[in-house]
């Protein structure tokens, strides 16, 4: 499938790399041209040599989204550092470009919950951390080193 990742930070770049390694077609959009460094890091060849594509542009600009291939995407990941940006671009991907699978990172549990109720697939790292930490404190789970 063709995966478009918008926002190339720690989360976005990691998802992009594993999707490419699994053999999917991956396009990444970020407003910072330096962000490609995260995609190249720890790889033997550069991101583009490996077949990935990278577009510099603002997520809200339709031209940038189109250049990154939003109209072709089977899956769309909204992982910029702004909750509101993620929620808006995810809805654009879903409603305007009919992308079949849209996932959104939302740090604020309140907004994540409400938008999930509205039909968006939201992932809330804050909520996940709260649940894991609570379970670990209660002794319900135990993990060595970093969770997951």
Applying CB under 8 A, which residues contact other proteins?
A: 60-62, 82-85, 87-88, 91-92, 95-96, 108, 110-111, 114, 118
Q: CB nearer to other proteins: give 60 or 67.
A: 60
Q: CB nearer to other proteins: give 61 or 71.
A: 61
CA 78/CA 99 separation, integer angstroms: 12
CA 115/CA 136 separation, integer angstroms: 28
- The distance between the two most distant Cα atoms of the chain, rounded to a whole number of Å, is 50
Structure tokens at 68: 């990154």
Under DSSP, the state recorded for 75 is E
Q: CB nearer to other proteins: give 26 or 106.
A: 106
Q: For the CB of residue 43, give the shortest distance to other proteins in the complex, in Å.
A: 32
Q: For the CB of residue 114, give the shortest distance to other proteins in the complex, in Å.
A: 6
């Amino acid at each position: 499938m063709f995966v478009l990742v918008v926002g190339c930070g720690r989360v976005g770049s990691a998802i992009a790399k594993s999707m490419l390694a699994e053999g999917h077609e991956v396009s990444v959009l970020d407003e910072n041209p330096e962000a490609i460094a995260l995609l190249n890091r720890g790889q033997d060849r550069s991101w583009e040599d490996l077949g990935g594509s990278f577009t510099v542009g603002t997520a809200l600009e339709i031209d940038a989204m189109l250049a990154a291939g939003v109209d072709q995407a089977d899956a769309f990941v909204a992982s910029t550092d702004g909750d509101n940006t993620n929620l808006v671009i995810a809805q654009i991907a879903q409603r305007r470009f009919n992308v079949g699978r849209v996932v959104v990172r939302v740090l604020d549990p309140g907004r994540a919950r409400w938008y999930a109720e509205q039909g968006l697939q939201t992932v809330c790292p804050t909520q996940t951390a709260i649940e894991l930490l609570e379970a670990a404190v209660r002794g319900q789970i135990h993990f060595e080193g970093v969770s997951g």
